[in-house]
Structures are given as C-alpha cells and as structure tokens.
Structure 1
Amino acid sequence: MKVVTGLFLIVLAAVAGGAAVHFRWIDASSVLDVAPATASQPANRTPSATAVEVSTAEETIATTDINAIGTLQSDESVQLAPEVAGRVAAIRFDEGRPVKAGDILVSLDNSLARASEDEIKVRLDLATSNYDRAQRMAGNGTGTARELDTALAERNTATTLLNSQRVQLAKLDIAAPFDGVVGLRRVSVGSYVAVGTPLVNIEKINVLKVDFKVPETNLQQVRVDQEVEISVDAMPGKAFTGTIYAIDPMVDVNGRAVSIRARLPNDDLTLRPGLFARILIKGMDQKKVVTVPEAAIVARGQDRLVWTIVDGKAQENKVTITGRKAGIVELEGLVPGATVVVAGQARLRKGAAVDIVNGAAPQASAS
C-alpha cells in the first residue's frame, strides 16, 4: 500500500510540474505576441516632411530680344603697298601710333626718277625755246606753219612727260589715305619691294563696325538706327552701345539669316578690331511672361519640370521654356504667384509634405 501511495505522489508531482512549465510558456508567448505589435507602432506614424527652399513665380514684361555673335572690325582698314617697285629709302612712322591723312609713311629710293625728271625738264626748256622762236618766225613771215606745229607738239610732249614723271615720283612716297593707327611694319630700310608688297596696315579705330547675322524670322524686329548692346569677352562686365546702320537686302539662302552691320564709337581706343563680340538687340514687341529662378527647373529626359507647393504638398508641373536671361527662366505652364521649389527637388514625390526652410509663404489652394 505504501508503494502505491508513493507512486501516486510521484505522478502527481510530475503532472504539477508540467502544468507549471506550460503556464510559464503561455506567459512568455503572450509577451512575445505583444512585443511585435509595440515595435510596429512607429511605422504607422505620419512620415516627416521634406525640407525645401522655395521662391515665387513672377509675372514680368519681356521683350523679344535677339542675341547674335560677330567680330569687331575697323571702320576703315587698308594694307599699304607700293604702286611701283623700288628700294625702301626711309620709314617715316612709329609702329602702333596715330597718323594723319597725307602723312608720308614709307619712301622709296627716288634718285633715278629725279634724274629722269631733270632730263625731261631740260627737254621741256628746249622745246619751249624752239616754240617761241617758231612763233616769232611765223609772225615775221620767215617761218612756216609746219615748223610752228612741230615746235608746239614737241613742247606739249615734253610737258606731258614731265607731268608723268612727277606722278611716278609721287608714287615713291607712300602716304596715309586717312586718319588712323598704323600697325607693325613688314619691311626695313634697304628692302627691295615689288609692286603690291605689303608694307604696313592702317586702321581707323576711333569708330568700329561689327557684322552679325540674325534669323530671317527676326527680320521684322530690326531696323536702321536701332541701338544694340555689344559686349566682348576681353572686357567682362562692360557693355557698349552701337547703332545699326546697314541691313543686307539679301537673305543668306544657306543659313536663312540676314547680315547686319552696326557702328559703335571707340574714342578712347579701348576696343580693338578682331575681338569676338556678343550682340543683344532689344526687341520692339513686349509681352507678359512668367519667370522663375533657373534653379527651379528640373530636367527629366526631354521634359522640363517645376515643383510647386500647394497646401503644404508638393506638386509636379510640366513647363515649356521660352527664354533665359541672367539666371532667370521665362516659361509657360505656371501661374504668377506660384510657390516653386528651388532646392531639395531630388527628394520630393507627388503629394509629399514639405518643410519650407527659407521662410517663403507657400501658395494657397485654389479652392
């Protein structure tokens, strides 16, 4: 009996122990079941807003400006060259210095030409004496009309030869054809030069010209006496004013453009021929346009987008760019006053909440 009782007590103790373990496992499972629910709670919170910087789309009055490029040219330019061959006897100018019209710049050796002139003068003196004597003889009847005609022809021939020789002598002195600045000489004293050999260039640069082209579609936007703004890369930040004075009557059939020439003053000789020039022609037509900072434009393939903020939410807008100037973009597809994002666009999504960090007021809803 005692043995049976002992076995019963052992079985009872084992059952009680198993129950205790079971209850402990249930409590642990309950804790584990609750923990995931607690951990998932942050995922249900409202996501944080994206920080952005914004600006405002503005309505402005714009003109149809035309931009072109060209090259500055001298108002007058010539390459001096001799009309007769000879040896350089003297150079009478300083390189890079102003000269006046008529100043002798280069003289060729004239010794042979002077000798020929003296010979012709002697011949002319003799012909003149013979003609005077023939006149007297014809007057007193001792001479004939034929002798008088021969003497007159000889005198006229000598006179013509002398004039021709003096012209040749004048060509040995090469003079400046207009007021200007001489360039760098190409020859030295003692050089033998043939007809047409370049000696030095002269540039009239107190006034400059600039040639440029505009598309034929803009032809109605340009006219003679219209002012243009000219800038050169050699002098950044400076602008010069010129005036259109000639428009080519022919349109280039290859480039579909028309050539235009403008003139600009250069009294201080600051500008130089050959400088690359940018030309801005102010358009005569005015229109209202919407503008935004360049930073507001987002490229996506061939499309251009602008993010706007409405009721604290980001909206994506497809726009069409119609012009650019000094960091400002003219476009279509936005209304004036729209709040546009200029920084932080890469993190935005449609309908995303935003946090404006530069203090600009967002646009209110249309409703």
Structure 2
Amino acid sequence: MRIVKPALVLLAVAAAVAAFLFWTNRPPEVAVVSPSRGTAADVVYATASVEPVIWAKVTSLLRERLVELCDCEGRSIRAGDVLAELDAGDARATLKELEARQSLSLSEQERALELMQRRVISQQVYDKALSEYSQISALLAAQRERLNDYTIRAPISGLVLRQDGSVGEVVAPGEILFWIGQPSPLRLVADVNEEDIPQVAPGQKALIRADAFPGQALTATVDRITPMGDPVLKNYRVYLALPEDTPLRVGMTVELNIVTREVPDALLVPTAALDGTEVLTVADDGTLARQPVGIGIRGVEASQVLSGLDPDARLVSPFRDDLKPGQRIAPVADTDGAKP
C-alpha cells in the first residue's frame, strides 16, 4: 500500500488554490480602440424607389372585358399606338340605335319645317322637333366619343416597362395595365419624415444602399422637394437625380443617407463606445476611468468628438456597463476602430 506524504498533498492543494485565485482575479480582456481622423457626416435616412423621370401609367376608363392585348412588354412604342381593345359590342349597338333615331328625328324635323312653312303647324311644334333632333345628335356625338375609350392607346412614346392583364379578363376603371417610360434618365423618389425635411435641400449628395448591389458605392443628388407634405403619413416626397451610368433599375427599392452636413478631419470614436456623452478610457497600467466628452455629429457607426478626449486615448469599445472606474483590465486591440 502506497502512502502519500502530507507535504505533497499540501503542495498540490496550494497549487490548485493559487491557480484558482489567479484565474478568478485575472483582469478581464476588453476590446480597446483609439480615436481616428475622418469626415463626420450628418445624414437624413429615408427609403426610396427607382422610377423614370418621364413615364406614364396607362389605365382603363371603363369596366369591360379585354378582347385584344398587345404583346409589347419590353418593346419601344410611339404615342398613339394601340395597346389594348375592350369589348365594345354593347357600345356599338347603342351607337347604331342612336344613328337610327337621329335619322328618324331628322326626317321629322324636316317634315315639321315644311308643315310650318305651309302654316299647318305652329312654330312651337317645329321647335320641339328641332330640339329632339339636337338632343339625339348630342347623344350620338357623346357615344362616338365614348367608343374611343374602348381602344387603349399609348399616351407617350417610350419603353413598355411592364404589362398586366390578360385577354378575357374584366378590368376595372383605374386599373393599371401598362407602365410606359423612357429607360433613362432615372430618379429616386423618397419619403422623408417631416421632422427631417428642414435639413434637406436641393444639391445635397445622397449615399445609396441597394440589396441588389451590396458593397457598391452608389450616389444620387437631391433635385427637388414637393412643397406640400402628407398630413397623414407626416412625410414629404423628395426627388433625387441618378447618374446616367447607375446600375439601378426601375422598380428597385433602396435605402438612402442624405448628407446634410460634413465636417472634414474630425476626431471620431465608435458610437458603440459612447454611453450618452461619456466613454471609458484605459490608462497605461490598464485601469479604467469614466471620461465625459463633447459630441458633435452622432452617426450610426462613428461619432464626432468635439472636446474632452486626447487623440491618443484608448477607449473601451463597445461600452460595457459591467466595468467600473478604477478597475484593471487586459486591453485587446480592436483593428476596426472608428470608421469615418
């Protein structure tokens, strides 16, 4: 039987206790960054959609069945080209009936004129016949004009961007059947909150984020702002011009950051390092201090520091509520830092 010496047992226990104390009292590893220099930008966020500058929505004015429909989606057309035909059978029957009534009324009016000239009937009887003829002629002219609504024509020249509907389908008044527009130039139409609209002005640059082109730098320029906002949605419509070489397509949705103010060579810190207007700074010996700072432009990723911070300072990022001033930490460098 092997006998373990008490001294060896005590040594092992002491080593275990020392290891436990070392790991429990070890300073926590904390990500630390330094301020950087860059351009601070004050932006207004909005969502927008891409549309042609010149375009039109083509709708039906009547509730009728489609009997003809051009196969012209993606094709160029000219103003006045026939796009679709609606079932005009009943309308043509009504036209023929009115033409027959007009012919009969004309005969009666001519006979009444002859009789009046022979003093067989009075002027009033003739005037009544003339009035009936005029009424029927007006109804006939209106019906002929109404027949034009059964033929749907292109209001402008351009490209058929989209075509909906099928032959045999009954369309409703105001239902959009065709989108026609010029493929370029394109523009963005954005809805900006009424609280932000005072900061937006024509000529400002906008940065675009599009899911279809991730990581690609896209820009637009504020062109004009609609004078009247929507009192229900509480926003204003803003039109932005796109460059001719934009890869964006009609109908795409994008996110915008309209740059309303820029400050070059600003001292920047990660916004995540801020707790309101305070940061946690790290001294050379690894101890923490809570430092109030003056904040200028506050961005999503980085914010401008106006005062209260040395450019060579080291900051805890992101800010951690579990750390206290005077506590010692083990700094770990964060290579991302504050992005302009």
TM range (shorter): 0.5 to 0.7
Question: Which of 217, 225, 241 is matched with 2:220 structurally?
Answer: 241
Cα deviation digits, residues 184-232 of structure 1 (max 9, x gap): 32212xx15154484624254754442233472x454224x34341412
User: Cα distance 1:140–1:118, how it changes in 2: closer, same or farther (>3 A)?
Assistant: same
Q: Distance in 2 between matches of 1:158 and 1:175?
A: 28
Q: Distance in 2 between matches of 1:308 and 1:57?
A: 18
Q: Which amino acid aligns with 1:184?
A: Q
Question: Which of 126, 130, 135 is matched with 1:152 structurally?
Answer: 130
Q: Distance in 1 between matches of 2:124 and 2:245?
A: 68
Deviation at 1:282, TM superposition (A): 2.2
Question: Which of 139, 146, 154 is matched with 1:168 structurally?
Answer: 146
Q: Distance in 1 between matches of 2:206 and 2:217?
A: 10
Does 2:43 match 1:66?
Answer: yes
Give 1:42's aligned residue: none
Q: Which amino acid aligns with 2:63?
A: V
Give 2:26's aligned residue: none
Q: How does 1:1-367 map to 2 (within 5 A)?
A: 57-58=36-37, 62-63=40-41, 65-72=42-49, 74=51, 78=57, 80-85=59-64, 87-139=65-117, 141=119, 143-178=121-156, 181-188=160-167, 191-193=168-170, 195-196=172-173, 198=175, 200-202=177-179, 204=181, 206=184, 207-214=186-193, 216=195, 218-223=196-201, 225-231=202-208, 232-236=210-214, 237-243=216-222, 244-246=224-226, 248-249=228-229, 258-265=235-242, 270-284=247-261, 289-291=266-268, 304-307=279-282, 318=291, 323=297, 329-331=303-305, 332-336=307-311, 338=312
- Matched residue SS, 2:260: coil
Q: Which amino acid aligns with 1:262?
A: Y
Q: Distance in 2 between matches of 1:157 and 1:114?
A: 19
User: Whose RCO is larger (CA < 8 A, sep 6+)?
Assistant: 2
User: Cα distance 1:245–1:138, how it changes in 2: closer, same or farther (>3 A)?
Assistant: same
Q: Which amino acid aligns with 1:69?
A: A
Q: Which amino acid aligns with 1:105?
A: L
User: Cα distance 1:182–1:308, how it changes in 2: closer, same or farther (>3 A)?
Assistant: same
User: Cα distance 1:197–1:211, how it changes in 2: closer, same or farther (>3 A)?
Assistant: closer
Q: Which amino acid aligns with 2:238?
A: R
User: Cα distance 1:274–1:95, how it changes in 2: closer, same or farther (>3 A)?
Assistant: closer
**What are structure 1's unaligned runs of at least 5 residues?**
1-52, 344-348, 357-367
User: Cα distance 1:56–1:264, how it changes in 2: closer, same or farther (>3 A)?
Assistant: closer
Q: Distance in 1 between matches of 2:175 and 2:230?
A: 33
User: Cα distance 1:271–1:92, how it changes in 2: closer, same or farther (>3 A)?
Assistant: same
- What is the number of equivalent residue pairs in this alignment? 284
**What are structure 2's unaligned runs of at least 5 residues?**
1-31, 318-325, 334-340
- Matched residue SS, 1:118: helix
Deviation at 1:140, TM superposition (A): 5.5
Deviation at 1:70, TM superposition (A): 0.8
User: Cα distance 1:84–1:163, how it changes in 2: closer, same or farther (>3 A)?
Assistant: farther
Percent of pairs identical after alignment?
21
RMSD: 4.8
Structure number with larger C-alpha Rg: 1
TM-score under structure 1 length normalisation: 0.58
Q: Distance in 1 between matches of 2:246 and 2:151?
A: 28
More helix by proportion, 1 or 2? 1
Q: Distance in 1 between matches of 2:243 and 2:113?
A: 64
Task: Determine if contact 2:194/2:229 at 8 Å carries over to the other structure.
Answer: no
